Amino acid sequence: MNPNYFFLAAILGVAVSSLAPPAFAKAGHGYAFGAPGKPEQVSRNIEVNLTDNYYKPDAITVKKNETVRFVLQNSGEFLHEFSIDTLAAHVAHRKEMAEMMEMGMLTPTGVNKKKMNMTHSNMDMGEMDHSEMGMSDAEKGNGTPMQHDDPNTVLLAPGESKELVWKFTRAMKIEFACNMPGHYESGMKGAIRFVQ
């Protein structure tokens, strides 16, 4: 076989792979900074109080390859979120949360479970931009329920407590934030710093 064939195939393979769209940080796609952790591997607990509209503490430190259990308590009067991600992912997620509020899936104080479990095909999605949500054309109207179920994110109603176990595998710039409309802008965010 002609050796130029292999060279051309390799060049085409690189070109095609560079055209592939980036993977969204959604359930099943993975996260550059870590993954859901195993409870039996937790090295420590970090208690986080979610209030209207700040976290206490507002910054935490973690080590590379450390598995942390976040013990979360919403002591505020509104629905809050604890989401670990990059700034860019939080910006995109805030758009999703605003759309979920507009559709009545989320309210200022809770989750409308009936609307949250509706499928895209029986909802009036209007002019919603599904590309920002990482949704394929096939999912736009195929009956896929729109959910708030990313493994790096927890929603807490007023008075609710939950836990999130996360393994931090790569040191990079990330933060925890509440992406409910207006909450991030009001200061509901916190730094995650990696230490040796």
User: What is the pLDDT confidence band of residue 36, given thresholds at 50, 70 and 90?
Assistant: very high
Asked if the structure places residue 131 within a domain, the reply is: no
Say if 56 falls within a structural domain: yes
* Tokens (6 digits) for 189: 């965010």
pLDDT in tens, 41-61: 999 999 999 999 899 999 999
Q: How many domains does the chain have?
A: 1
Distance between CA atoms of 48 and 158, rounded to whole angstroms?
14
Look up the CATH number of the domain holding residue 68. 2.60.40.420
pLDDT of 11 higher than 60: no
Rounded Cα gap, residues 153 and 169, in angstroms:
17
Confidence at residue 26, expressed as pLDDT on a 0 to 100 scale: 41
- What is the C-alpha to C-alpha distance for residues 30 and 44, in angstroms, rounded to an integer? 23
Q: For residue 12, with 0-12 CB atoms within 10 Å meaning exposed, 13-18 middle and 19 or more buried, which class applies?
A: exposed
SS3 55: strand
Residue 78 lies in a domain: yes
19 belongs to a structural domain: no
Q: Is 64 part of a structural domain of the chain?
A: yes
> What is the torsional sign of CA 86, 92, 98, 100?
negative
11 in any annotated domain: no
Looking at every residue in the chain, the average pLDDT score rounds to: 78
Residue 68 reports pLDDT greater than 70: yes
Domain of 168 in residue numbering reads as 32-113+146-195
Q: Is residue 18's pLDDT more than 80?
A: no
Q: Specify the DSSP class assigned to residue 87.
A: H
pTM, to two decimals: 0.72
Output the pLDDT for position 147. Answer: 57
- In this prediction, residue 127 carries a pLDDT of 43
Q: Is position 135 within any domain? A: no
Asked if residue 175 lies in contact with residue 73, where contact means CB atoms within 8 angstroms, the answer is no
Convert 33-43 to b/e letters by CB count within 10 Å (16 or more is b).
Answer: bbeebeeeebe
Place of tokens 């836990």: 163
User: What pLDDT, in 10s, does the model give residues 154-171?
Assistant: 999 999 999 999 999 999
In this prediction, residue 148 carries a pLDDT of: 66
Q: Is residue 167 part of a domain?
A: yes
What's the pLDDT tens digit per position in 82-135?
Answer: 999 999 999 999 999 999 999 999 999 999 988 877 544 444 444 444 343 344
